[in-house]
Chains A and B, each alone.
Chain A
């Protein structure tokens, strides 16, 4: 095993380790790390991996990893880094005839070009061939960490408190965030999920070529697109057929055309998860969704309201005036949505399949007990994205294989719970007057 430095993107911190774990599972890489060494305060994380090839595999699909460096020195000062590098035989031999480039970077401060050159020149003792900026044989990588003082209104310190040096081995795939940017997408709704988190969700769901994925609250189909990008065959369902069909030639299908994914974005079905039409069987490898929680899109399910005036007895689907009759719907509390979703996933996922979904909660009232568990699932990850008074959590659950035991089994609803979970009546709390200042606007609700 060798030491590698992972340089994460410095946001969506709560999603970084879960994504790393998911990618290790997906790529079957033997990843070893000390969880206590991880911090949300900086982008650096040191892990152990068997080889450079494994390091590249681990990073190649990552949305939240920028670079992976084979680490040779991790010291408090540049002087110490130089000393360590001088005494590293691995650095002295193999690059003598290699073309090279030297990258010098900093976190939490800016190092002027002249100062960068001054630092790089001190590494002149490293035997290497000619400088080549584009596609060199080897990229030496030196990084200084100045901490996060600058984010709190202070000047960064004059000297870094951590200096790292190594050889670059691979990068993440952050350019996808740009490729699937919502600003460039033809068909959108109020509930479309931003590209970055949609892609992270596909990684959480272990989606790969040939996976079969369902989004039961498909909306405008954000997750169909990102999962299909990774080679999955995708299906969607929604109670609202208007979103599926779209308008003016723009629809889920036109998005699939835009990204050249029509061969894998299969069908969408208008149906209700509370009364669903899927026959028995373990069908999907992953269920990826953002359940409706009623801030921008009020959640509905089929049913008769208390003031319903519709006469009893069979109704024809076409009204006397020739219009299509849409069935009645009633509001659908988030709690009930979750119970239905998890029960559905328990039935329809293949063993080892993953359910990845968003759970909105009220920030001050959240406790870990609020995350619904199920005897047929293992909770894999729970990542928080805060929007002031409320937040949403990306929950990843894996359906147990035969013989596997859940670490902890908790009833998913009711049983003797004294307190309502922090997502209960979420919509009422979100819209309640005088809850802190203005609630921050959710960037999206539903894919």
Chain B
């Protein structure tokens, strides 16, 4: 799971308290660097879709990068490269994603997050 995907996933347990289901905390992470094609246009269009604060805190907690407080309003090529590196080239290989609202744990195995719930949770 790359950080771009983490940025878009939330806890969807029915009983999860509203407002606390996002973001999911990554615990016991094993990271790997992966290649991804750089496409400036793609990254530019990705920026408004990202939750910047979450990308920033996740990157910081995982020790990947120190992103600026605010997303650059007019990103330079270097900014785009930096976002590309954090969001597309950082992959969580093994980890647990924990919901801070309800404590549900979503495992990540072999880079694939398992977001399925048990039937009493939906």
Contacts and interface: CB of A to CB of B under 8 A. Distances in A.
Q: For the complex, would chain A's binding face be called helix, strand, loop or mixed by DSSP majority?
A: loop
Contact of A327 (B11, B42, B117): B117
Interface residues of A, number: 43
Interface stretch (A37-45, A60-68, A155-163, A266-274): A266-274
Interface in A270-302: 270-272, 275-279, 281-283, 302
A395 interface: no
A278 B113 CA distance: 12
A154 B114 CA distance: 59
A383 to B, nearest CB: 29
B117 A268 contact: no
A279 B5 CA distance: 10
A263 B37 contact: yes
B2 A267 contact: yes
B37 A313 contact: no
Interface residues of B, number: 37
Most buried by B among A210, A304, A315: A210
Interface string B32-45: 00111101011001
A264 B36 contact: yes
A207 to B, nearest CB: 12
Nearest to A270: B114
B61 to A, nearest CB: 19
A209 interface: yes
B30 interface: no
Contact of B5 (A235, A245, A263): A235
A444 B1 CA distance: 28
A304 B119 contact: yes
Contact of A302 (B2, B114, B117): B117
Contacts of B105: 317
Contacts of B8: 278-279, 281, 283
The interface centre, meaning the residue of A209, A266, A304 with most chain B CB atoms within 10 A of its CB, is A266
Interface string A318-337: 00000001111000000000
A266 B5 contact: yes
Contacts of A302: 116-117, 119, 122
A268 B10 contact: no
B39 A233 contact: yes
A231 interface: yes
Given A279-B10, A302-B119, A267 B49 contact: no
Interface of A: 209-212, 231, 233, 235, 239, 241, 244-245, 262-264, 266-272, 275-279, 281-283, 302-304, 308, 310, 312-315, 317, 325-328
Given A262-B35, A263-B36, A308-B119, 12 more contacts: A245-B112, A263-B35, A263-B37, A266-B2, A269-B1, A269-B9, A270-B116, A276-B115, A278-B8, A303-B119, A304-B119, A312-B120
Interface of B: 1-2, 4-5, 8-12, 22, 34-37, 39, 41-42, 45-46, 49, 51, 88, 105-107, 110-120, 122
